[in-house]
Structure 1
């Protein structure tokens, strides 16, 4: 029988080990909720060292592309790792493919991480939220808390790493990458991406034949 593990326990184990959320949850289930035993298990499996690799240079990798069915949405993403050996691994290529598909499925995403969002964008969102009518009667301290909470939520929506993975919504893209760091033993980073939507930015003209005829007859 699988015991139920609280989200708080999973977060605590993750903070101590840097392992992915699902790896932490599985380790806790296997150790009947004992964090110390779970840490030992993760270390034995080599899953507790992802956080130690996050600052290592990533100069290799690949550029992945994805065209959605119907050819109306396309994505190009650069995913980096430390060596060309890992870049050639099937697991790394699959991760890059999944990330490209994730970007295609998330039209609101504009940045890799919240740390990449310009201060001007954050301040604009803060200004918009602070001016909403539903906050007018709130005490100032409560209003500030609500505004900051809404701004954080909005920033998370703009960040790729904060998105629930479309193939497993129990984890985020950040968790997915960290689990692959543990699996492949190298730092992995999404450097940049671009998303194309067919016709985006083009002002479409609509010809109303009835209106044209009416204008001609009124002259």
Structure 2
């Protein structure tokens, strides 16, 4: 059947797909708009599948926080190029996804993808967007956090986001939380303190310490002691509470928080970066 330019344009307005793609879909669907939309979505699925091995090292971090600052949700929406990360529709869908995640509090990113966003699931929305834009798009990270106060931070490039929860704040947590969130963004601690560093990392650092000491010609009987010393240095440099506070290196992060309010401390944090 003959497809009019008006019909093609209508489908384009409905889906955002290209004019030729819309025309082909309408021809294939014999003018049935619902079938044409389904055809376009299937095309998106094919595009998505064909790009499933592509690296998504660009994207944007989105954060939504409750009015009382006791809850926050972080979602990163990843893509292949910085150009797409600045696309208005990409940003709009990211905002919608983080709003949905905040309302529904799904248990995982996969569960989030199964939630309805308008008339489609999040996964279907992303597949549809892949079909329009032509590059891989996916949820990279999904984090939910609650606490006495949860302070968010998004770096100026929107590719790096932090959530940090504080306790014993006595109403003084917002500014301190922002300072600590920026510390986390800049210094990328591997854990809150030494008790949260995984055993594989500890074993690796001890092995490195032993090998360094051996290379320096230290006696075999003191290699373990030297390695333990190097491990303590690793904890000091790479765990949040022991790191030197970036705004005042005369104190560590734990001491800084205690100086703001006695007993204030970080209960947990998350740092998410979409950069390669």
TM-score, normalized by length of structure 1?
0.53
Q: Which residue of 1 aligns with 2:176?
A: 95
Question: How is 1:22-171 mapped onto 2 (pairs within 5 angstroms)?
Answer: 61-81=148-168, 86=170, 89=171, 91-107=172-188, 109-132=189-212, 134-135=214-215, 137-171=217-251
**1:75 touches 1:194 (CA, 8 Å); kept in 2?**
yes
SS of residue paired to 1:131? helix
**2:194 touches 2:235 (CA, 8 Å); kept in 1?**
yes
- Report the count of equivalent residues: 131
Deviation at 1:130, TM superposition (A): 1.8
Deviation at 1:60, TM superposition (A): 5.5
**1:135 touches 1:143 (CA, 8 Å); kept in 2?**
no
CA distance, structure 1, for counterparts of residue 190 and residue 161 of structure 2 = 14
CA distance, structure 2, for counterparts of residue 99 and residue 78 of structure 1 = 10
Stretches of structure 1 lacking an aligned partner (at least 5 in a row): 1-58, 201-219
Q: Which residue of 2 aligns with 1:190?
A: 266
Deviations 1:15-57 (A, max 9, x none): xxxxxxxxxxxxxxxxxxxxxxxxxxxxxxxxxxxxxxxxxxx
Which has more radius of gyration?
2
Deviations 1:144-199 (A, max 9, x none): 332122111112222001111111111110111222233xxxx3221111111123
SS of residue paired to 2:178? helix
Deviations 1:67-114 (A, max 9, x none): 1122222111111227xxx2xx2x32111111111101112x111111
Deviation at 1:128, TM superposition (A): 2.7
Greater fraction strand: 2
CA distance, structure 1, for counterparts of residue 270 and residue 162 of structure 2 = 6
Structure having greater relative contact order (Cα 8 Å, sep ≥ 6):
1
**2:191 touches 2:239 (CA, 8 Å); kept in 1?**
yes
**1:111 touches 1:160 (CA, 8 Å); kept in 2?**
yes
In 2 relative to 1, CA 81–134 (structure 1 residues): closer, same or farther, beyond 3 Å? same
CA RMSD of aligned residues (A): 2.3
Q: Which residue of 1 aligns with 2:43?
A: none
